[in-house]
Amino acid sequence: MNCDNAALYPRHSAVDDAYGLFTGIALAATGIAILGKAGLITGGIAGMALLGSFVSPYPTSVLVPAINIPFLLFALFTMGRNFTLKSVLVSFALGAGVKLITPALNASGIDPALGWVVGGTLLGMGILCLARHNASMGGTGSVTLWIQKHFGINAGLAQLACDCILFIVAAFYLPAEKMAWSLIGTVAMNLVLIRWHKPGRYRG
């Protein structure tokens, strides 16, 4: 980055990064908790953990960091130590956030028609915020960010391709109505990245 660009797009300070990561975790955890209350899934690591919580005795808060292990190893060798360290912290903080926020919603269930738009959009904004501060939730998010960085394929579009596989598996466990709402919510999540996570749109 030349001097002119450095002046226009100054690097984030440690405080910027800390607050940015906190905001991303808070948004993503709230989105996941809403989707879980509505009985829906989504894409990426969040969708894997939500689906796992529906078909196993383990809660989403435990499954997020557990499923993340191989993806974080991938991130270590492809995205660097700084990105991976942040993503490890995000993974565990996200699990803790979901555990705290889910009972705080104080609702036995959320209408899927509301859950998909609110949960999906909040999750997408959380992922975007994390990406802006050189981190991710892990999972396929690390893979899609790497694909965008090295091949120029939009992270949202790459994520949609990965999510197709997840939804094929989920179709064996979730009723058609839940699958439909989940699919719409996943599109809402990825539209945030497709629309706003573009090269040159944001630096620092």
- pLDDT tens digits, one per residue of 42-59: 888 889 999 999 999 999
pLDDT of residue 63: 92
Q: How far apart are CA 112 and CA 181, in angstroms?
A: 6
- Domain ranges within the chain, ordered by starting residue: 13-196
pLDDT classification of 1: cutoffs 50, 70, 90: very low
User: How far is residue 39 CA from its own chain's centroid?
Assistant: 17
Q: Which residue has the higher pLDDT, 88 or 106?
A: 88
Q: Which stretch of 9-13, 37-41, 147-151 has the lowest confidence by average pLDDT?
A: 9-13
Distance CA 25, CA 19 (A): 10
Structure tokens at 36: 């879980």
**56-60, 79-83, 153-157, 198-202: range with lowest mean pLDDT:** 198-202
Per residue in 142-193, pLDDT (tens digit) is 788 788 888 888 877 887 788 888 999 999 999 999 999 998 988 888 788 7
User: 15 vs 18, 72, 181, 195, CA distance in Å?
Assistant: 5, 24, 38, 27
Report the number of secondary-structure helices (H) and strands (E) in the chain: 9, 0
Residues 184-202: b if buried by 16+ CB within 10 A, e if exposed: bbbbbbbebbbeebeeeee
